[in-house]
Amino acid sequence: MVNVAILGFGVVGSGVAEVLTQNKSIIEKKLDKEINIKYILDLREFPGNPFESLVIHDFNIILNDPEVSVVAEMMGGSHPAYDFSKACLEAGKSVVTSNKEVVANFGAELLEIAKAHGVAYLFEASVGGGIPIIRPMCNDLASNNITEISGILNGTTNYILTKMTTEGAAFADVLKDAQDKGYAERNPAADVEGLDAARKIVILAALAFGKSISPNDIYVEGITNIATSDVEMANGFGYAIKLIGHAKMVDGKILAMVSPRLVPHSNPLSGINGVFNGILLGADMVGEVMFYGPGAGKLPTASAVCADIVDAIAHADGSIKLPEFKIADASDIADVESYSCKRFFVFDKCPECALDSKIAEKCFGPISNFAIYGDKVALITEEMSEKNAAALCAKLNGCKAYRLL
Amino acid sequence: MVNVAILGFGVVGSGVAEVLTQNKSIIEKKLDKEINIKYILDLREFPGNPFESLVIHDFNIILNDPEVSVVAEMMGGSHPAYDFSKACLEAGKSVVTSNKEVVANFGAELLEIAKAHGVAYLFEASVGGGIPIIRPMCNDLASNNITEISGILNGTTNYILTKMTTEGAAFADVLKDAQDKGYAERNPAADVEGLDAARKIVILAALAFGKSISPNDIYVEGITNIATSDVEMANGFGYAIKLIGHAKMVDGKILAMVSPRLVPHSNPLSGINGVFNGILLGADMVGEVMFYGPGAGKLPTASAVCADIVDAIAHADGSIKLPEFKIADASDIADVESYSCKRFFVFDKCPECALDSKIAEKCFGPISNFAIYGDKVALITEEMSEKNAAALCAKLNGCKAYRLL
């Protein structure tokens, strides 16, 4: 029998207890071993909950119980989640987690500790909720150089952008609706300002490129400045506006960023709507593959955590192959100013100017799309650096520049 | 050092040699072991080919060489591919394959032999080419009951249907174009009549439901009878016509089939175009996940074969968890006649009748869409069994009935 402890009995933690109970027979058949939830650590009491009797408040009971071999950490936040995870690994217990904050900030260190102690540190649920992404990236693409990652990594913002697209609703109204439905937090900053997606893209970049960048060291732009008219104009040009976590190697350095982007309707990411997530990987042998599914939610996220629990138990002999990445230093990180891509500009039409695409090309260079939309001008340029885009924007009234994917 | 033998030096076989050579350092770093291609078995000679010196014609050299621990079978066809695979497994060598015909027909037996000899039999490349699907299904969804599978499993037919949709071209013309471009075989029957997709859906159903059905025992319908006008009418109703391999449990029995289906534009499978494949899985805990990528091609398929080679080597100690399925008997297989789904009917308009949706409902029951398109009538019904759909179709001139997904 394998004893598992759950740290944090919130949404995902209670989901893990539910999956392990409801699908106990499937999991035990796969493992040919019995699984038992021995403890659930939480500060709160849960009177009347079917797992009430397992709830404890003292982490040391778990840490010091040699019978507990797998710990599932779903506490959220960096501390004490990181500290508890580290202590468990050092005590020879495998740790699985959905905590993207800990993985993004301390993943490299925790993986090293896990390796030194012959145990597992797994985090499938930290990116893309229930979507299989980390294990397929490490195992199924094992013979590939991964060259590029583009992902819709946050369900809340994708829900808001989808509503803005399909219903022509304004950002603030959709945010309120999403909060009322429970898709967005009361304090939505981590979602709508892009930090949640930033944590996820740095995890994926670390797996792909072997170097872990702090989410604080990448360019992050959220969706709060997107106007409904921007979405409509982009759509008219054949693009959806999505919040994209993007990473690739540029001259041997890692470029990672989060920003709203125009995704062409021919790109499979453009059709990912609502709270769903999708991750598109480019790799030298396979070409392009995409993984799609529920990027959050109690049972989907718990499904990914439980896959890690199964994996940790199946390889309890230390035979598990963990990913390896080191902490990046400044020389590993590409300068975002040099990043070049096609751009979508939208700016106020000057009432007394007779602007057309020919005149605009004198300023923007070759233009593939041009439209006047009420008192706004929208156009798409060829590739242009961040610096040049910002300089152009500064010259024009009410100008916004979006990157194209 | 691990010695690998390649059986079959055709498109995929030469791709595997290329991937193992070109990305040797990535693979060896992952495994912490050197990999060497020792033999390539083929009937032909390859003068001038960089791998020329490895080519042999006698399978027994591989079988009897104790240094060869992993054999990659990419011969195609059932025999001698099955016989060679079986002999290798019995000799204690792991076998990996892209051969869907062998897996669909002999997978259950070969898995059992592999288990008995403590070696691996892996077949990631047999479904979806380079798309990670089999390993994620078995590992990442380990804590789920998989309830339903729907897949675009054949790139040739998807290319043809995409062209029919986007260009309004006729089936025969697009097939010829696909043959000229090398996307379709000179003898396209296995693709356009659905047999290739049938082999793949029975493999996925075996993994999901634990029972392997012969591809000859499922309902299979290809795309040869699809008219461009059917595609246009479906599109007008908000659906794409796709060749879908579908499997689910119905009253404890397995229902598996291949047929053209109307896929609503809101379903992510509807946007999968050209030679790409996509597989949508429904599972009780995660909900819906989809895997997308190149369903065929030299390097993508080789990428999947090489992932299996890496997995087999990493678990050469016998610690690998292989899928388990048994051969289905008649009582495991659902009667297709009882299968019920919404239907799209298209039939000749009777010139002297004043048919409208109200009159049509007397015959078809409740109708969600109705349109007259030249001399054709198109409509969508509620759920209806195969038997009732066929009976209705028989009564109407020029009638075709399509299933909805």
Interface of B with A in 57-76 (CB under 8 A): none
CB crowding A35-74: b at 16 or more within 10 Å, else e: bebbbbbbeeeeeeeebeebbeeebeebbeeeebbbbbbb
**How far is A56 from A41, CA to CA, in rounded Å?**
5
CB crowding B283-314: b at 16 or more within 10 Å, else e: bbbbbbbbbbbbbbbbbbbbbbbbbbbbbbbb
CB atoms closer than 10 angstroms to residue B43: 9
Q: What is the mean pLDDT of residues A345-354?
A: 88
Is B80 in CB contact (< 8 Å) with chain A?
no
Q: Is A349 exposed, middle or buried (0-12, 13-18, 19+ CB in 10 A)?
A: middle
Mutate to test the interface with B, among A31, A126, A139, A265 (most CBs of B within 10 A): A139
Residues near A89 by beta carbon (within 8 Å), at least 6 away in sequence: A95, A110, A113, A114, A117, A119, A121
Is A142 in CB contact (< 8 Å) with chain B?
yes
Where do the domains of chain B lie, and which CATH numbers do they carry? 2-129+298-327 (3.40.50.720), 146-295 (3.30.360.10), 336-404 (3.30.70)
Which pLDDT does position A358 carry in this prediction? 86
- Residues of chain A contacting residue B293, judged by C-beta atoms under 8 Å apart: 286-290
Contact B310 A142 (CB under 8 A): yes
- Which of A266, A223, A286, A252 has the alpha carbon at shortest distance from A405? A266
Q: Read off the pLDDT of residues B238-264 as tens digits, 9 standing for 90 and up.
A: 999 999 999 999 999 999 999 999 999
Q: Read off the pLDDT of residues B216-239 as tens digits, 9 standing for 90 and up.
A: 999 999 999 999 999 999 999 999
**How far is B403 from B287, CA to CA, in rounded Å?**
23
Q: Are strands B211-212 and B121-122 parallel, antiparallel or unpaired?
A: unpaired
Contact B20 A143 (CB under 8 A): yes
B288 min Cα distance to partner chain A (Å): 6
Q: What is the mean pLDDT of residues B394-400?
A: 94
Is B314 in CB contact (< 8 Å) with chain A?
yes
With 90 as the cut, is the pLDDT of residue B301 above it? yes
Which pLDDT does position B359 carry in this prediction? 85
Task: Write down the mean pLDDT value for chain B.
Answer: 96
Which pLDDT does position B358 carry in this prediction? 85
Contact A19 B285 (CB under 8 A): yes
B57 min Cα distance to partner chain A (Å): 28
With 90 as the cut, is the pLDDT of residue A5 above it? yes
Q: Read off the pLDDT of residues B163-204 as tens digits, 9 standing for 90 and up.
A: 999 999 999 999 999 899 888 889 999 999 999 999 999 999
Q: Which residues of B are catalytic?
A: 200
A368 min Cα distance to partner chain B (Å): 22
With 90 as the cut, is the pLDDT of residue B346 above it? yes
Is A289 in CB contact (< 8 Å) with chain B?
yes
Which band of pLDDT confidence, cut at 50, 70 and 90, is reported for residue B338? confident
Is A286 in CB contact (< 8 Å) with chain B?
yes
Q: Which of A140, A307, A319 sits opposite B141 (nearest CB)?
A: A307
CB pairs under 8 A between A and B: 179
Q: Read off the pLDDT of residues B305-317 as tens digits, 9 standing for 90 and up.
A: 999 999 999 998 8
Mutate to test the interface with A, among B286, B298, B301, B317 (most CBs of A within 10 A): B286
Considering chain A, what percentage of its residues have pLDDT values greater than 90?
A: 92
A358 or B398, higher pLDDT: B398
A306 min Cα distance to partner chain B (Å): 6
Q: What is the mean pLDDT of residues A306-312?
A: 97
Q: Are strands A35-41 and A55-56 parallel, antiparallel or unpaired?
A: parallel
With 90 as the cut, is the pLDDT of residue B364 above it? yes
Q: Read off the pLDDT of residues A52-102 as tens digits, 9 standing for 90 and up.
A: 999 999 999 999 999 999 999 999 999 999 999 999 999 999 999 999 999
End-to-end CA distance of chain B: 49
Is B291 in CB contact (< 8 Å) with chain A?
yes
Q: Read off the pLDDT of residues A168-183 as tens digits, 9 standing for 90 and up.
A: 999 999 999 989 988 8
Is B271 in CB contact (< 8 Å) with chain A?
yes
Which band of pLDDT confidence, cut at 50, 70 and 90, is reported for residue A265? very high
Which pLDDT does position B253 carry in this prediction? 96
The three state secondary structure string of chain A is: CEEEEEECCCHHHHHHHHHHHHCHHHHHHHHCCCEEEEEEECCCCCCCCCCHHHEECCHHHHHCCCCEEEEEECCCCCCCHHHHHHHHHHCCCEEEECCHHHHHHHHHHHHHHHHHCCCCEECHHHCCCCCCCHHHHHHHCCCCCEEEEEEECCHHHHHHHHHHHHHCCCHHHHHHHHHHHCCCCCCCHHHHCCHHHHHHHHHHHHHHHCEECCHHHCEECCCCCCCHHHHHHHHHCCEEEEEEEEEEEECCEEEEEEEEEEEECCCHHHHCCCCEEEEEEEECCCEEEEEEEECCCHHHHHHHHHHHHHHHHHCCCCCCCCCCCEECCHHHECCHHHCEEEEEEEEECCCCCCCCHHHHHHHHCCEEEEEEECCEEEEEEEEEEHHHHHHHHHHCCCCEEEEEC
- Residues of chain B contacting residue A314, judged by C-beta atoms under 8 Å apart: 321
A21 min Cα distance to partner chain B (Å): 10
Query: What are the distances in angstroms from CA A49 to CA A4, A5, A8, A44, A71?
Result: 18, 17, 14, 12, 21
Q: What is the mean pLDDT of residues B374-380?
A: 95
Which pLDDT does position A59 carry in this prediction? 98
Q: Rounded to two decimals, what is the model's pTM?
A: 0.96
- Which of A148, B86, A266, A120 has the alpha carbon at shortest distance from A137? A148
